[in-house]
A and B are shown apart, each in its own frame.
Chain A
Amino acid sequence: MNPVLRGFAIYIFLLVVFRLMGKRSLKETTTFDFLLILIISEVTQQALVGQDYSITGAFILILTLIAADLLFTFLREALSIVDQVMEGAPLLIVDHGQPLERRMKKCKVEKDDVLHAARLIHGIETMSQIKYAVLEKDGSISIIPY
């Protein structure tokens, strides 16, 4: 297969699969998840390169991946809907000390994750001290204390 098509196909495939995994998946990286990512990168590398070990092939693949990334960056900037579909949108998960459990369940976020973020950033001890908690686009949790 042509390296440009191969590179582009793999870019799109990874984009779709990681989007389907949900945004929390990569933020909750355990040691095993890290190992899994290494294996995924190894498998991807084999599919990308195939039997072509030439420097030209490598240049074409690098350019293809960068061009695909630039194309989607451009599309995200031009159309906000593309940005929201690709990156998602922030979501409120704690409102005035009350965990919004149905929202949290949908996003696979636990109360412990919220408390962890609260302790880490603000030294907060209990849920009731949190005014708002927001699950951000990148999967991190922002805490707004009272």
Chain B
Amino acid sequence: MAKDIEQVQHSIEMDEAIQLHKIGWTVQRIGWVLILLLLVLAALGLFGTGPLSHKQLEAGGNAIAYERFARYEANTALRFTAVHRNGAVMVQIPQQYLRDFEIASIVPEPQEVQTINGYYVYRFAADATLQIVMRGMHQQSGTVETTILVNNMPFTISQFIYP
């Protein structure tokens, strides 16, 4: 057990509030441990960009990679891997999702964009498996859950957007 601090009788007119100092030192040390813990978790991706955050879903040769944890108005990306069918790849994203996710760029550029049944439908020309990167930023904090279709294959993604 740590030694207690020195008890002193002095003639100075001041309130040392020793008990408060002791509580303060304990809280300070707990705070340092919490800060360290938070930093380790942040480095691992609890607040985005790291192994805890990176998520990849695969089905039928198609895949979608995204950040499970993202931050408000910070750049993030959705990455699709899609097998072409008859020289084309189709990605369908719900309009509701894109209401709060501002797309900055899509690489490669889609050949055509349509709105069908509440989905933005992006069509890409492809003669092999296509890698698509959709970069942008979330405009709303909170939990987001949506189903994105890649070549009609549904992928349900769930994200938490920090404020």
Q: Which A residues fall within an 8 A CB radius of B?
A: 1, 9, 16-17, 20, 22, 50-51, 84-85, 88-92, 95, 100-103, 106, 132, 134, 144
| Cα–Cα, bound, A103→B10 (Å) | 15
Chain B: interface residue count, which band? 20 to 34
A90 touches B5 (CB 8 A): no
Contact present for B8 and A100 (CB under 8 Å):
yes
Chain A residues near B31 (CB, 8 Å)? 16, 20
Asked if B21 and A89 sit within 8 Å, CB to CB, the answer is yes
Complex contact B8–A84 (CB within 8 A): no
CB pair B16 A92 closer than 8 Å: yes
Residue-by-residue, is B87-119 near A (CB-CB < 8 Å gives 1, otherwise 0)? Answer: 000000000000000000000000000000000
Does any Cβ of A come within 8 Å of B120's Cβ? no
Q: Is the pair B35, A20 in contact by a Cβ cutoff of 8 Å?
A: yes
Structural contact, B32 and A102, CB atoms closer than 8 A: no
A84-B17, A134-B12 known; A1 vs B141 contact (CB < 8 Å): yes
B1-44: contact bitstring with A at CB < 8 Å (1 yes, 0 no)?
A: 00111101010101111001100110110011001000000000
A4, B5: Cα distance in complex, Å: 43
Interface presence of B154 (CB below 8 A): no
Q: With A20-B28, A51-B73, A102-B5 given, name 7 new contacts (CB 8 A).
A: A9-B163, A50-B73, A89-B17, A91-B21, A92-B16, A100-B6, A106-B21
